[in-house]
Amino acid sequence: VVAAAGSRDLAGTRVIITAGGTREPIDPVRFIGNRSSGKQGVALAEAARDRGADVVLIGANLEVAPPVGVDFVPVSTVAELRDGVVSRSPDADIVVMAAAVSDYRPVTVATTKMKKDAEGDSFSIELTANPDILAELGQRQHPRPVLVGFAAETEADAGELIARGAGKAERKNADLIAVNRVDEGRGFGAADNEVTIVDRYGEVHARAAGSKREVADAILAAARGVRA
Ligand code: CTP
Ligand code: CA
């Protein structure tokens, strides 16, 4: 499933990749974040570039450097990520949502640093739901880009993993979901990854295990297959 070295099968194709993990501020020095390093999304951007695509990488708090030869848009919050993707998606052929997007954000953001004297022994932060970017892209009228999402799940059962991916593809009207199991040494932060690429019907388009670059090439090949 990995493209032959030097294959330029995405020449003339416009690809948007989101990568990394969003941060939702609580106060000027604190945020709600997640363990996404951005490595898989950066590998996707590199692989798309090498296959000849025009690539926009929208990166949220990347722990790795963005690749050369791609248009890099740094963002931090879900609102910034959404604006970056939604404003560019009408011109895209493929959008891959590899970023880990915070489902919630604080209702209010303190303008000065929160103090424990003021908060006491316990306190709560009220959260409100963020927009679902992938679902919003999926609701757009045709023509729309090929939409690929990710689902990082701690579920161990292979059949249940596929069912969850299919359910997310269905709910968000995405063409493909790359499901990966996350645990110690797998997924977040790790050098290697393992994904099953499914559609809303639960049909498996590809399985890939190996470096994040190998996984990236498998995902792009599957996305190209949808578009063809
Ligand atoms: N996603 C998104 N906007 C959000 C949340 C998720 O675009 N507000 C995208 C992610 O980038 C990913 C896909 O949707 O490509 C699936 O994300 P995931 O967190 O697995 O799915 P959720 O629908 O948020 O379900 P849950 O977290 O409850 O499993
Ligand atoms: Ca989520």
Residue written as tokens 């919003």? 136
According to DSSP, the β-strands at 104-106 and 127-129 are: antiparallel
pLDDT digits (tens, 9 = 90+) for 207-222: 999 999 999 999 999 9
Q: Report the residue among 32, 95, 104, 150 best suited for mutation to probe ligand 1: largest number of ligand atoms under 8 A from its CB.
A: 150
Query: How far is Cα 108 from Cα 199, in angstroms, rounded to an integer?
Result: 37
Nearest to 213 by CA among 43, 32, 94, 6: 43
Predicted TM-score (pTM) of the model is: 0.95
Residue 14, beta-bridge partner list: 54
The predicted pLDDT at position 142 comes to: 75
Q: Which atom, in ligand 1's list, is nearest to the CA of 129?
A: 8
pLDDT digits (tens, 9 = 90+) for 67-96: 999 999 999 999 999 999 999 999 999 999
User: Does 172 belong to an annotated binding site?
Assistant: yes
| Ligand in closest contact with the CA of 40 | 1
Catalytic annotation, residues: 34
Structure ipTM over 0.95, yes or no: yes
